[in-house]
Amino acid sequence: MRQVDHFIVGGGGGSAARTHQIWNPSTGEVQAEVPLGDAALLQKAVDAAKKVQPAWAATNPQKRARVMFEFKRLVEANKQELAELLASEHGKVVDDAHGDVQRGLEVIEFACGIPQALKGEYTQGAGPGIDVYSMRQPLGIGAGITPFNFPAMIPMWMFGMAIAVGNAFILKPSERDPSVPVRLAELFVEAGAPEGLLQVVHGDKEMVDAILDHEDIAAVSFVGSSDIAHYVYKRGVAAGKRVQAMGGAKNHGIVMPDADLDQVVNDLAGAAFGSAGERCMALPVVVPVGHDTADKLREKLIPAINGLRVGVSNDPDAHYGPVVTPEHKARVEGWIDTAEKEGAEVVIDGRGFSLQGHEDGFFVGPTLLDRVTTDMESYQEEIFGPVLQIVRAKDFEEAVRLPSEHQYGNGVAIFTRNGHAAREFAHRVNVGMVGINVPIPVPVSYHSFGGWKRSGFGDTDQYGMEGLKFWTKAKKVTQRWPDGGGDGSNAFVIPTMG
């Protein structure tokens, strides 16, 4: 059986006492296994990082940028391999996997401009003969703990910025689909980075705790479920670390009566069901404003959802593939059961879906639930599967209130032709990322990504200038050069050669 080993200087240290199975979600078969490391293995990675990081930090930003440029070129050259490998372990279709890689590369592109981004501030004459300037310096060793749903994009979000500014980086990817992160680390060394600068360790909670407790790891970035994000944030901060921890979501799509419903249905088909709904920026709740809008939208949604093709990850005609594990399939179907028991109307039922020839795969059919209300647990919690819930709002005020009062505050979208309504909504809604006629409002790489409330713990967002600030510390210098020499005179003397 294929083994996905740690990527650390000196290797993983032999066979592991504990391993984790890696499934092929399309077939339901175990295709590989990954060793689960411990604190001793992490120490090996930290020791290697400590040796290489000072010299990397002393390397001028232009040379660091050249490594990032070459890494970008290598990822692009190997993009098909990465996408197919990603799809085989995660289950998302290959086209979607290409998008996973590409969105990570966009942050690498931003990191290629690190010489410009790192320029500090300067004030001449802040006082009599006094100048003040600032610089941003690396923290030392950073770490990232990343989820299964974007095994290429989110690691590159983290290590791209962290390394470009001068840190060493230790990545702990999800044990469910770890092969792509390891391959990215291999390509990073091939791009000219010194060994030990980017390392990959595998593990479960034991490894996470070791990272959070290690005194030589200065900062930790995390993406995952909200309960774990909160745990990571509290434990990491208690250990004196800088921590950003991104959690779950329950993104709403507000549909105003004047919206183009055909466009809304097209957007929802991708936003709610793409990647089998396994993404924190999915749009699993649609909020039509007014009963007429709700009835018209539902009428258009039914044939569109029934027309979605569910297939294996390498099916070029499939709209989405299986979910990642059998446990996750059971969890998603359990939420549909819960919603039905709570009184939601199951308009389209994806439970028990079976794909001919791949009956053991972890497939969940597209599901549409109507008459969902805010007191239902299935509305309050993140389902993270191909399930779209309709929550009817009587007016604009209620539509603003629903996402604003929800425990999650990652993303929200409004569909309308009315500029005033869109502007008012964007200003008032209590959510971190807003789309106006954009169903998945993930900001481009030179802005930043981050939600509010239980969707994000910490004060700094991912990537962009926010990422640069997270992975660096600011040093402020106030200087004065008084006239005169050591004799106490005030004469200004120009030094001469000789």
How far is the first Cα of the chain from the last one, in angstroms, to the nearest whole number? 73
In the prediction, which pLDDT does 11 show? 85
Domain ranges within the chain, ordered by starting residue: 2-247+455-478, 252-436
Regarding the domain with residue range 252-436, which homologous superfamily does it belong to in the CATH classification? Aldehyde Dehydrogenase; Chain A, domain 2 (3.40.309.10)
CA 311/CA 273 separation, integer angstroms: 13
> CATH 3.40.605.10: does it fit domain 2-247+455-478?
yes
pLDDT in tens, 2-17: 999 999 998 875 557 8
Q: How many alpha carbons lie under 13 Å from residue 136 in its C-beta half-sphere?
A: 22
In the prediction, which pLDDT does 12 show? 76
In the prediction, which pLDDT does 175 show? 97
pLDDT in tens, 326-340: 999 999 999 999 999
In the residue annotation, 112 being an active-site residue is answered as no
Of the pLDDT bands very low, low, confident and very high (cuts 50, 70, 90), residue 387 is: very high
Q: Across residues 407-412, what is the average pLDDT?
A: 97
Neighbouring CB atoms inside 10 A of 465's CB total 15
Looking at residue 276, the DSSP 8-state letter turns out to be G
Q: Across residues 91-105, what is the average pLDDT?
A: 97
Please state the length of the chain: 498
Q: What percent of the chain has pLDDT over 70?
A: 96
pLDDT in tens, 224-266: 999 999 999 999 999 999 999 999 999 999 999 999 999 999 9
Phi and psi dihedrals of 297, rounded to 5? -65, -45
Q: Across residues 415-441, what is the average pLDDT?
A: 97
Of the pLDDT bands very low, low, confident and very high (cuts 50, 70, 90), residue 491 is: low
CA 5/CA 100 separation, integer angstroms: 22
Q: For residue 83, what are the CA distances in angstroms to 89, 363, 463, 472?
A: 10, 20, 22, 32
Residue for token pair 């994806």: 350
pLDDT(485) > 80 = no
Phi and psi dihedrals of 326, rounded to 5? -65, -35
In the prediction, which pLDDT does 139 show? 98
In the prediction, which pLDDT does 17 show? 85
Q: Are 169 and 144 in contact (CB under 8 A)?
A: yes
**From the candidates 280, 287, 412, 413, which is the catalytic residue?**
280
Q: Across residues 395-422, what is the average pLDDT?
A: 98
More confident residue, 490 or 323: 323
Q: Across residues 257-282, what is the average pLDDT?
A: 97
Of the pLDDT bands very low, low, confident and very high (cuts 50, 70, 90), residue 1 is: confident
In the prediction, which pLDDT does 496 show? 65
Of the pLDDT bands very low, low, confident and very high (cuts 50, 70, 90), residue 32 is: very high
Q: Are 362 and 326 in contact (CB under 8 A)?
A: yes
pLDDT(490) > 80 = no
Q: Across residues 153-180, what is the average pLDDT?
A: 98
The H-assigned helical ranges of 113-204 are 114-117, 153-164, 179-190
In the prediction, which pLDDT does 493 show? 55
Q: Calculate the average pLDDT of the chain.
A: 95
Q: Are 272 and 386 in contact (CB under 8 A)?
A: yes
Q: Across residues 77-81, what is the average pLDDT?
A: 98
